[in-house]
Structure 1
Amino acid sequence: MGLTGLEIFKQLPKTNCKDCGQPTCLAFAMQLASGKAGLDQCPHVSDAAKEALDSASAPPVALVKIGKGEKELQLGNETVLFRHDKRFEHPTGIAIAVNDNDSEIAFKVGEINKLVFDRVGQIHNVNLVAVVNASGDAAKFAEAAKTVQENTPFPLVLISEDAAAMGAALEVAGANAPLICGANAANLDAMVELAKKYDAPLVIKGAGLDELAALVEKAGYKKVILDSGAREVNKVLADQTQIRRQALKKFRSFGYPTITFADNPDPIQVIVDAGVYIAKYAGIVVLNTADPADILPLITLRLNIYTDPQKPIAVESKLYEIANPGPDDPVFVTTNFSLTYFNVQGDVEAGRFPAYILPVDTDGISVLTGWAAGKFTPEKITEMLNTSGITDKVSHRKVIIPGGVAVLSGKLQELSGWEVLVGPRDSAGIPSFYKQRWGK
């Protein structure tokens, strides 16, 4: 939040009633300041205080939503310039463009729909399909918007600076809150009216930052995406950085997410440019390519940048079956830190034998760190053995633990009743361990 705990405390009723779940109003104020609680948890705060706190504590970058339903894209709510200061809230939306004069729109949209990637156990994809009024024809633009909408679950970006063409496209796609991309100094009033009519987010484009700020203020609309007008990568980078810095200083005209266009004719440079925009604050990056080889590096970069640095990537803590194991196959225990789990899984698969893997919930930290932190314990492993369903899957009662925590074996065997085998310290030793200690 934008206020300190003490500044928030001054606005609270100071009754220490505990209705918010905290022991004192000061404790609640500190939770609010750190973003771990919401003002609606206090039933006694006055309307005047609520208005003051809501205004002062609003994120520097407003939340803007594109589309509706399961694939709705949320942007904004950003509060920091550098990820390590806290975290970035909403990953950059990746949009793939199709032109309305393309003869194979449905086919290209189908290729966009296939851009789905499994990365460290998480499913990632692109977020938007951008329909470009390249023909300049309103009817063709509307028909293209209809075709795209019928063939993809992703929200649309409608790109045209012709208000009449935009109106025609919105007649067929406006109900799903697409992003209207086309307001500028010449058509601002008409585009704002369309945005209000369909309650849709609007891109406002300026010829530089000064004009952009003036246009946003003149529009008086709150569902805004910013386009500085720059297209050269160095200028885009400078504008993106300046917009974020000014937003954090509460310059309200720049307090919105941004959109960038990676359209360099060099197919390699365009991906490099897109990576720069993802790294430096772009809310949306629009690309023309739907080649998986181009999109996967950007998806990976986005994942790395927008992962919460205070929250490791973790897999679900449940029973995993590798290569259709049966009742006589081994059971490996590890933690739910993604890197640890996928190392174990990969080395089991490399050994070409079936097995069960039980990743214990350690809040996403590794084996030795989890043990040192008291999160990878005999008690937690026993609970996992008892609740995961593994007892119904195997006829034996043998469990293999990582060699680095051999110290847990005695207590674990006592608590669980399972025979505990100490595996290799490194998962790369799993195939040879299997042949020597378990091979049939």
Structure 2
Amino acid sequence: MGLTGLAIFKELPKKNCGECGVPTCLAFAMALAAGKASLESCPYVTEEAKEALGSASAPPIKLIKVGAGDSKVVELGDETVMFRHDKTFYHPTGIAFEVEDTLDEGALAARLEQINGLEFDRVGLHYTVDLVAIKNTSGNADTYANVVKKVADNTKLALILMSDDSAAMEKALEIVTARKPLVYAATADNYEAMTAVAKKYEAPLAVKGANLDELEDVVNKVVALGHKDLVIDPGSRETVEVLKDLTQIRRMSIKKKFRPFGYPVIAFTTETDPMDEVLQAQVYVSKYASLVVMKTVEKQFVLPLLSWRQNLYTDPQKPIQVESKIYEIGAVNENSPVYITTNFSLSYYSVEGEVEASKIPSYIIPIDTDGTSVLTAWAAGKFGGDRIAEVMKELGIEQKVSHRNVVIPGYVAVIAAKLKEESGWNVIVGPREAAGISAFARANFS
């Protein structure tokens, strides 16, 4: 159980200077107790107080970094809330793909090529996967070390080393220690040896229990041995059991500040059908896995999962929006059509994609509507004819084209007359949905 606000207050300097961002030391103590402030914000706190308040000021879920150097660095944990709408989620779930050391050289190269190719551009965002999990299926330390080296030489993704054999783990770590891989896993049977190896190479360590009770016990033993850079695995594999354990761990760490569970959590998919596996992974990404290890590497299954993750880990308090300016799509000229939309990212990039598909160079002007969609902005009075005319004039679109035709979304046809009156331009009512732009453009501007 964490310290109360009053207990924390007793350790603070009681200057009420406000330099921490809140007016009084008592208010700062309450914020610390609630996990909404950091002890580092107080410039006058003593070293003795820092030591005494270390547990209270620590984040409820520790930040763990996997990867180093030129390889990808994946940050896990450091979450502070149960639900995104309470504040936001900070570190997206790491997506890892399993590679077994029993694959022949050709199959290994092909699988790594597939994994490295899992990059996507969607609605102006670049999606990538994060880690490769190398599993010691063979049980042979030399074979495992050889495969680990091949994987490390052929990917910049972060690494997870999966073996129950501490000797095999040490051989692998000798090769990739500079990459700071995640060591998986310390269990009730091998935690002493695995902890010693992880400490020696300063690598983060996954701790696995057969259930939550055993997990707590093993975590406490590993911490007592002096290693605190941990990722935890409750050991369950059935979807409903994993969901239950993930939720319980998150609740205990956030609500109760239960330190043995205050670490990022790793989950593994078990479904053999690719669609079922991605659905299983989606459950874990949603509730509350910090890291998911899966097998399916086909792009058509991975992209929806990455899109889902992206949507979960956007800040709900900050609308996703693009800059309000004139965008040139293709080799535009003075005869290119002009499209109007809002600066909500999804609206803009939907329009941009369809305009590109039409093969007709065009201008797009997203109006600043505070990142809201067309109908939402219109209903709020942010997407009216007078506002659009004002932005068109400010941006100087009339200097880029010789015509005076502008296309507006079909859903707001009602603003056409006002826009024409304010701007003097001929207003063309376009399709309601972005999907209709290609056909509309070919019919009107070819």
> What range describes the TM-score normalised by the shorter chain of this pair?
0.7 to 0.9
Contact 2:35 2:80 in 1 (8 A): no
Partner amino acid for 2:102?
Answer: N
Report the CA distance between 1:131 and its aligned residue: 0.6
- How far apart, in 1, do the equivalents of 2:121 and 2:179 lie? 28
1:319-398 correspondence to structure 2 within 5 Å: 319-349=326-356, 352-370=359-377, 394=401
* Alpha-carbon separation, structure 1, partners of 2:25 and 2:38: 14
Q: SS of 1:71's equivalent?
A: coil
Q: Corresponding residue for 1:90? A: 91
Q: Please state whether the residue corresponding to 1:343 is helix, strand or coil.
A: helix
Whole-Å separation in 1 of the counterparts to 2:5 and 2:417? 44
| 1:393-412 correspondence to structure 2 within 5 Å | 394=401, 403=412, 409=419
Check 1:339–1:194 CA distance in 2 against 1; reply closer, same or farther (3 A cut): same
TM-score by length of 1: 0.82
Residue 199 in structure 1 maps to residue 202 in structure 2: yes
DSSP 3-state at the match of 1:222: coil
Give 1:212 deviation, angstroms.
0.8
Equivalent in the alignment of 2:249: 243
Amino acid corresponding to residue 359 of structure 1 in structure 2: P
Cα pair distance change 1:247/1:40, threshold 3 Å: closer
Q: CA offset at residue 257 of structure 1? A: 1.0
Question: CA–CA distance in 1 between the matches of 2:200 and 2:217?
Answer: 23
Residues in 2 aligned to 1:7 and 1:364: alpha-carbon distance in whole angstroms: 43
C-alpha separation between the residues in 2 aligned to 1:285 and 1:40?
Answer: 32
Alpha-carbon offset, residue 423 of structure 1:
4.5
Moved more, 321-330 or 162-171: 321-330
Task: List gaps (5 residues or longer) in structure 1.
Answer: none
Moved more, 261-270 or 202-211: 261-270
Deviation at residue 409 of structure 1 after TM alignment: 3.9
C-alpha separation between the residues in 1 aligned to 2:299 and 2:308?
A: 14
Deviation digits for residues 256-296 of structure 1 (CA, Å, limit 9, x no counterpart): 11111112334443233222222221111111221112212
Alignment of 1:218-257 (within 5 A): 218-220=221-223, 221-248=227-254, 249-257=256-264
Total equivalences in the alignment: 431
Secondary structure in 2 matching 1:199:
coil
Per the normalisation by structure 2, the TM-score is 0.82
Q: Give the percent of matched residue pairs that are identical in Structure 1 and Structure 2.
A: 49
Q: Does 2:120 match 1:125?
A: no
Of the three residues 109, 126, 145, the one matched with 1:142 is 145
User: Deviations 1:133-170 (Å, cap 9, x if unpaired)?
Assistant: 11111111111111111111100000001000000000
In the alignment, what sits opposite 1:178?
Answer: 181
Is 1:277 aligned to 2:280, yes or no?
A: no
Corresponding residue for residue 191 of structure 2: 188
Aligned partner of 1:336: which letter? N
Q: 1:304 maps to which residue?
A: 311
Per-residue CA deviation, residues 91-143 of structure 1 (Å, 9 max, x unaligned), is 21111111112113222111100011223221112110011111111111111
Question: Which deviates more from structure 2 when the two are superposed, residues 187-196 or residues 43-52?
Answer: 43-52
Residues 323-361 of structure 1 show CA distances to partners (whole Å, capped at 9, x for unaligned) of 432232123332221221133224535655321113244
Distance 1:232 1:113 in 2: 29
Q: Tell me the distance in 2 between the aligned counterparts of 1:371 and 1:25.
A: 44
CA 1:379 to 1:68, structure 2 compared with 1: closer, same or farther past 3 Å? farther
User: Aligned to 1:256, what secondary structure does the other structure show?
Assistant: coil
Counterpart-to-counterpart distance in 1, 2:397 and 2:26: 43
Residue type of the alignment partner of 1:208: N
Residues 422 and 439 of structure 1: CA distance in aligned 2, closer, same or farther (over 3 Å): closer
CA–CA separation in structure 1 for the residues paired with 2:85 and 2:76: 19
Q: CA RMSD in A?
A: 3.8
Q: Could you tell me how far 1:382 is from its partner in structure 2?
A: 5.7
**C-alpha distance in 2 between matches for 1:280 and 1:141:** 32
Contact 2:64 2:229 in 1 (8 A): yes
